[in-house]
Amino acid sequence: MGSSGQRALKNLPFEDEIRQNAYRIRQSNIEQLEQLIELLTQTVKKNGGKVYLAKDGISANAYCLAIAKKNRVKSIVKGKSMLTEEIGLNQAFLKNGIDIFETDIGEFIIQLANDRPSHILAPAIHKTKEDIGKLFSETFNIPYTNDPFRLTCIARKILFQRFLTADMGISGCNLAIARTGQITLLSNEGNIRMATTIPPIHVAVMGMERLVASLDEHNTLMQLLPRAASSQKLPVYVSYISSPAKLEHADGPREFHLVIVDNHRSKIVSDPQFKEILYCLHCGACSNVCPVYRKVGGHAYGSVYPGPMGSVLTPLLNQGDTQRDLFFACTLCNACKEACPLHIDIPRMLRLLREQTVCKDTDWKAQPHQKMESACHKAVAFALTDRKRYQLLLGSLAACQSILTRINSSLPKLRLPISERIQKGQVRQFAKKTFIEQLANDPEKLEMNSKTELSCKKIRSVMNGVEKGCHPPLNQAREVKKPRSTHELIHRIENRTAGQQKALLNKFIKECRSLHQTVILEKDSTSAAVSISRLIQMKKPERSDIKMAVAWDVPIVRELHLETQLEQKNIPVIYAPLENRSSAKTALEKRHLFLKVSATASVGITSADYCLAKTGTLVLKTKPGQARIVSLLPLIHIAVIKPEHIILDMDELYALHQIPCHTRHNTFGDGMTLISGPSITGDIEAVPVLGAHGPREVYVFIILENDKHVFKKGGAGKDDKKQVPA
């Protein structure tokens, strides 16, 4: 993940500028944190949600328990959240007799094994498929298998029933937008969409630092976060949630609670030396490149937050000296800073933590070294600060090792106790000649070394600037990105030519293909209806013996008249309730009935409010008749769109949101979901498996009608027309 994430960032246009701008955004967010929390609280309440500010984990757990007891909650489903691990929320519910189930497949495996996560994004990365197969076989009394696809299907089937019967759903929060009162949740599996849509109560738990001021700031960070985390332009699902479901909505929770947790973060914010660690996006990029983490694994850190980021954050959150080994284990190689999408200076903070330990800092309750440990550190420092002493030390160690080898007639297995948490590793035999001696005896390498020395001088000059708090300068030869105003973006959308729209369509189709989405072009609604009907008939249902389709109640889907096409095949088409003008009780009954129908449907049919050409993304807003579960519960998702639905990117999408008077505007105050491909997971030995929780197949039908021109080669071609794969 480390190298692919770095490549994804390097492929981002204006990468340096965006990363520096993102750093400035997070810096501003943390400096204005108190005001942003107040603004977020106001906007969430205005949208109909409830907000609770928790001083620590105890008060956050107490509030969540109070909600559960008030609503007689017996079963809870939970999306992956590091903060809930930090405050021990699961244990709090279990102690009070309330079942809570992890629904991320990696976290599900960890919970079954009574283990701890070892990576911030891939919690079960330390387990083999054989371990997981044995675990599932013993836990669920089923035949053993080590096939990642079959194991994923087993987890999906078990968790699906838990979603349907859950009384409450709990999620974390990747980023919250203060001005709009929305939280955003990123996932590839679809379990977070399930946990925030199906149960009648949704509780989101977020750290107080997970805030941005505006949509523009959110857009900048979203260009970096998925690329650094999983090498994706966008994750499969991005959910925007701001309020409980309205009476006229066909699904969604009736209560939405946002719990904002401090838990010693306010003290970190007030410390100018360490507040930079709260800029972190929790992408896991630093762990992926860290030589220490890659050698010893996440469990060695003894913390919820492993890797370089955790080596700084954990001691600060715990405000004590119990995690001192974390920051002393680091090699200070600077790889984490280079990999970080924001270039957060983690090595600087690690060095500062070491300094505070030596100097017995009273603010963070750091304790000095023991006398023997301090003496060892001084001895090593004495040897390493002088070339002659260093060579003498190496020579002495090599001589001792040689003597021991002769005595035992084999290399002794010497072991070094690096720390109680770090595994012990075998020491290799010293080379007969040092690297410098080998280099001096090789003229070709020596010539290369002179060139390397020049490069090292350049690197040192850059690093000197970094030490002073300066970021490396931008490459002057690169073009500087000029930000566009909202009105400029709207003008670009409204005045797009036919040729430009055709290019957008070609780009959208290309991106869809790269995301395992099948694109089918149709000349009109009639031919589209025939193709969709044929596709539904071909697919075998997996959850029921009866073939059934659920659909949005919107004009572009209604115009297909699928109920007429499928009536003779005895395949019913059920439309989402468009509006509930009846009593609240009747509305809830209709909602529950539609949920049961959607849970057994083979196919879900939607439109899309917009499509993003740059990322192959479908934008689905939460409105009457546009139930979220239609694109989530069935194993096949069909989206029917027209070319005019396609816009370029997130910049244009956010611009449309910020101009209320615009004809294409429709606020996403009620919520919105971005979909970029079928549901996918890689939690079992990093093997990608489609259909983790959401649809396994996604088809995009594009109805041309007034756009029946022939598309250029490489975009939409004749292979796409009337193509219905088996």
Q: What would the pLDDT profile of 560-581 be if each residue is shown by its tens digit? A: 999 988 888 888 999 998 765 5
Task: Give the pLDDT score at 10.
Answer: 78
Mean pLDDT computed over 430-452: 64
- Rounded to two decimals, the pTM is 0.84
Sheet holding 697-703, edge to edge: 517-522, 697-703, 636-641, 603-606, 549-551, 573-575
Task: Give the pLDDT score at 582.
Answer: 60
Contact (CB, 8 A) for 534 and 724: yes
Residue 294, pLDDT > 80, answer yes
What is the pLDDT confidence band of residue 482, given thresholds at 50, 70 and 90? low
Task: Give the pLDDT score at 395.
Answer: 82
Residue (of 127, 75, 77) closest to 97 by Cα position: 75
Task: Give the pLDDT score at 565.
Answer: 86
Query: CB atoms < 10 A from the CB of 42, how many?
Result: 13
Residue 721, pLDDT > 60, answer no
**CA 146 to each of CA 141, 335, 685: distance values in angstroms, whole numbers, following the listed order:** 15, 35, 11
Contact (CB, 8 A) for 292 and 668: no
Q: Using CA atoms, how far apart are residues 196 and 208, in angstroms rounded to an integer?
A: 20
Q: Using CA atoms, how far apart are residues 422 and 326, in angstroms rounded to an integer?
A: 10
Query: CB atoms < 10 A from the CB of 45, how many?
Result: 14
Sign of CA dihedral 149, 150, 154, 160: positive
The DSSP bridge partners found for residue 216 are: none
Contact (CB, 8 A) for 66 and 255: no
φ and ψ at residue 294, rounded to 5 degrees: -65, -25
Least confident of 228-242, 425-439, 467-481, 582-596: 467-481
Task: Give the pLDDT score at 76.
Answer: 98
The DSSP bridge partners found for residue 639 are: 606, 700
Half-sphere exposure of 6 (CA within 13 A, CB side): 13
What is the pLDDT confidence band of residue 420, given thresholds at 50, 70 and 90? very low
The DSSP bridge partners found for residue 82 are: none
The DSSP bridge partners found for residue 637 are: 604, 698
- 411 or 498, higher pLDDT: 498
Task: Give the pLDDT score at 723.
Answer: 45
What is the pLDDT confidence band of residue 409, given thresholds at 50, 70 and 90? very low
- 382 or 505, higher pLDDT: 505
Residue (of 289, 306, 305, 308) closest to 297 by Cα position: 306
φ and ψ at residue 440, rounded to 5 degrees: -65, -25
Task: Give the pLDDT score at 611.
Answer: 97
Secondary structure, 3-state, 203-233? EEEEECCCEECCHHHHHHHHCCHHHHHHCCC
pLDDT in tens, 14-41: 888 999 999 999 999 999 999 999 999 9
Task: Give the pLDDT score at 705.
Answer: 77
The angle formed by the CA atoms of residues 97, 101 and 103, to the nearest 5 degrees, is 170
Secondary structure, 3-state, 62-77? HHHHHHHHHCCCCEEE
Residue (of 145, 162, 43) closest to 108 by Cα position: 162
Q: Using CA atoms, how far apart are residues 338 and 315, in angstroms rounded to an integer?
A: 23
Residue 259, classed as helix, strand or coil, is strand
What is the pLDDT confidence band of residue 102, given thresholds at 50, 70 and 90? very high
Task: Give the pLDDT score at 657.
Answer: 81
Q: Is residue 495 within a helix (H) or strand (E), and if so which, with residue range?
A: none
Task: Give the pLDDT score at 424.
Answer: 39
Residue 63, pLDDT > 80, answer yes
Q: What is the DSSP letter of 478?
A: S
pLDDT in tens, 645-702: 999 999 999 988 876 544 444 455 578 999 999 999 999 999 999 999 999 999 999 9
Task: Give the pLDDT score at 57.
Answer: 95
What is the pLDDT confidence band of residue 447, given thresholds at 50, 70 and 90? low
Tokens, residue 446: 């020596």
DSSP annotation string for 90-113? HHHHHHTT-EEEE-SHHHHHHHHT
To the nearest whole percent, how much of the chain has pLDDT over 90?
A: 60
Buried b (16+ CB within 10 A) or exposed e, 680-715: bbbbbbeeebbbbbbbbbbbbbbbbeebeeebeeeb
- 463 or 62, higher pLDDT: 62
φ and ψ at residue 528, rounded to 5 degrees: -65, -40
The DSSP bridge partners found for residue 617 are: 612
Mean pLDDT computed over 97-124: 94
Residue 484, pLDDT > 90, answer no
